[in-house]
Amino acid sequence: MCEKYFELCVYPADKSALFSDFLLEFTDAVEENGKKLIVRSCEPLDIVEFGVKEYAKKLGIEVKTTISQKPNEDWVKKYQESVQPVIAGNFYIRPSWEEPKSGFIDIIINPALAFGSGHHESTYGCLLMLQRYIGIGSRLLDVGTGSGILAIAASKLGAIADICDTDPEALKAAHKNFAENSVKYKNSWSGSVGTAPIKYSVITANIIADVLLAIKNDLINALNENGILILSGILDKYAKQIKEQYAALSLIDEFSENEWHTLVYKR
């Protein structure tokens, strides 16, 4: 453990969730504390700070940042203590240091090891939709699996799940989380849906709008006839464009919270 650590504080004037997602691309954990986002690391965070500022310029959003170096006070433990479990329908998503909740389907996700823990609106929306459209024996593919939370949830509902992600580190985290939850995936690969070995009855893709547009044809082609496609990670400003581009499918369900949309299509 390092004797001192670096702390980057980000004060976004707006769209805090956007910057939280952006920071998770570079770090294992982001703490939300009032109006600021906090990232900590034993390694210098200057490059991350630069990336935040460039991202803010691209979005046209005002952002302030500070970097400081502090004595190590076991900040990982302090962060863990701040993480609260999430209830999404019949799912209870918790870190391993919390106890399961009676009457709920238990899912263990450790945020410091993961890319998606159920707290974000897009993940939450997908978890709700899975409970509506997954049946026992459903063949599911989770595209951009991250922590594996959606595929784990589907497995606990009786589905047979495959997972893929373009980030090998995300796959490693997903594999650990599957083992932690005592469920198994069928196939796993580094890459995207274009190399899927079969067609699926359900596909989840909780990514970002630009990627959903880029892989539209691959997602549709990997669906069985009458297959269900769950898309998420879609901000308000992109929802109309996604709906236009996926108009070849039937939009059968939708969940929206704050500025995020989860869309359910049927082929």
Concatenated DSSP letters for 128-192?
HHHHHH--TT-EEEEET-TTSHHHHHHHHTT-EEEEEES-HHHHHHHHHHHHHTT---S-EEES-
Contact between residue 229 and residue 217 where contact means Cβ atoms under 8 Å apart: no
Task: Decide if pLDDT at 250 tops 80.
Answer: yes
Question: Looking at residue 74, what is its pLDDT?
Answer: 65
Q: Does residue 114 register a pLDDT over 60? A: no
* pLDDT score for 121: 86
User: What's the confidence (pLDDT) of residue 13?
Assistant: 76
Answer yes or no: are the C-beta atoms of 143 and 193 closer than 8 Å.
yes
Closest to 185 (Cα-Cα) out of 226, 141, 219 = 141
pLDDT band at 82 (very low <50, low <70, confident <90, very high): low
Pairwise pLDDT comparison (191 vs 74), residue with the higher score: 191
Tokens 């990670």 belong to residue: 233
- Interior CA angle at 138 toward 136 and 144, to 5°? 130
pLDDT in tens, 176-223: 999 999 999 999 999 999 999 999 999 999 998 999 999 999 999 999
* CA torsion angle 222 226 139 116 (round to 10): 70
Structure confidence by residue, pLDDT tens digits, 130-142: 999 998 999 999 9
Mean pLDDT over all residues of the chain?
Answer: 89
Checking if the pLDDT of 150 tops 60, the result is: yes
pLDDT for residue 131: 96
- Residue range 160-175, pLDDT digits in tens: 999 999 988 889 889 9
Q: What is the DSSP string of the chain?
A: --SEEEEEEEEESS-HHHHHHHHHTT-S--EEETTEEEEEESS--HHHHHHHHHHHHHHT--EEEEEEEEE---HHHHHHHH---EEETTEEEE-TTSPP-TTSEEEE--GGG-S--S-SHHHHHHHHHHHHH--TT-EEEEET-TTSHHHHHHHHTT-EEEEEES-HHHHHHHHHHHHHTT---S-EEES-GGG-SS-EEEEEEES-HHHHHHTHHHHHHTEEEEEEEEEEEEEHHHHHHHHHHTTTSEEEEEEEETTEEEEEEE-
The alpha carbon torsion through 154, 93, 169, 65 (nearest 10 deg) reads: 140
In the predicted structure, residue 112 carries a pLDDT above the cut 60: no
Higher pLDDT, 247 or 118: 247
Buried b vs exposed e over 45-60: b needs ≥16 C-beta within 10 Å? beebbeebeebbeeee
Q: Which of 73-82, 90-99, 103-112, 203-212 has the lowest mean pLDDT?
A: 73-82
Quote the pLDDT of residue 168.
87
Q: Domains, the chain, ranges and CATH?
A: 4-79 (3.30.70.270), 83-266 (3.40.50.150)
Going by their DSSP bridges, the two strands 105-108 and 139-143 should be labelled as unpaired
